[in-house]
Amino acid sequence: MTSALHPRLTPARPDLAARYLKGKVAAARFVDGEPREVIDPQLPLRRSPEPDAPLDTEALMGERVTVYETSEEGWAWGQLDGDGYVGFMPANGLAAPGPAPTHRVSALRTLVFPTPSFKLPPIGALPLGARLAVERSEGRFARTTSGSYVPAPHLAPVESREADFVAVAERFLGTPYQWGGKTGLGLDCSGLVQVALTACGFACPRDSDMQQAAVGEIVDDSSRRRGDLIFWRGHVAIGRDASTMIHANAFHMAVAIEPIDQAIARIRASDGEVTCVRRVAGSVT
């Protein structure tokens, strides 16, 4: 059996594993997964099947999930198709896949209405990056295949891409810091990086250690420029220019902009020195 498989990205437990892992991991039984789709605006993915378990990440509406087990207590154990993260999700936030998404939410947050009228109370809200299937346009609204209405200016074709991931990150300025979060209600350092890069069409792992290993190319710290990712042990920030950066952090308990040298001096006391700076080719125009 191999020991090289990443535990956060491998659907395997001592009692259960994905069938494609047979011969690679030890498990009491192996099963085929079932495709599901996230139907809640955002769905927590937790480390264990308890509502107060640590939040590892969030899945957004329209994301596909492969589910390997659904418990009687209402927990689905599965793997996100997008970034491969494995964990436990509330099963009532998942459903059989519906029509393929046609649009993504391009605003930091948008509202969902029961009819094409801004005067009625909204029935929900969707975060940036959520995906949905649009049936048709009705004035300033887009009607989804589920029969709800979303302001059309807050949507973009699902295949479209943002031009500058730093500008996407800057939209979250002031958002509360939340471990495991990925929305305008709260997010963490690596969540901010993942959401921003994904909006620009770049594949990005979920956690900062994974990002440090896989995103972009290492560059000399002295050549800082907009879009560089600055890594510490357990933390990541996004360079806005040669002297300032933006990051979700527990010191400010928010997404904040601050001078890079000032942050390096402060973080040195808790997380040590900068471990590397990486640049995503073509990520900023």
How much is the pLDDT for 3? 45
How much is the pLDDT for 4? 66
d(CA 185, CA 255): 11
CB 103 within 8 A of CB 142: yes
How much is the pLDDT for 221? 83
How much is the pLDDT for 223? 87
What lies within 8 Å, CB to CB, of 262 at 6+ separation is none
Q: Return the exposure string of 100-124: e unless at least 16 CB atoms fall within 10 Å of the residue's CB, then b.
A: ebbbbbbbebbbbbeebeeeeeeee
**pTM, two decimal places:** 0.95
Paired strand residues for 119: none
The torsion region of residue 139 among left (phi > 0), alpha (psi -120 to 50) and beta comes to: left
Q: Return the exposure string of 232-268: e unless at least 16 CB atoms fall within 10 Å of the residue's CB, then b.
A: beebbbbbbeeebbbbbbeeeebbbbbebeebbeebe
**pLDDT values of the chain reduced to their tens digit, one per residue, 285 residues:** 444 689 999 999 999 999 999 999 999 999 999 999 999 999 999 999 999 999 999 999 999 999 999 999 999 999 999 999 999 999 999 999 999 999 999 999 999 999 999 999 999 999 999 999 999 999 999 999 999 999 999 999 999 999 999 999 999 999 999 999 999 999 999 999 999 999 999 999 999 999 999 999 999 988 899 999 999 999 999 999 999 999 999 999 999 999 999 999 999 998 899 999 999 987 665
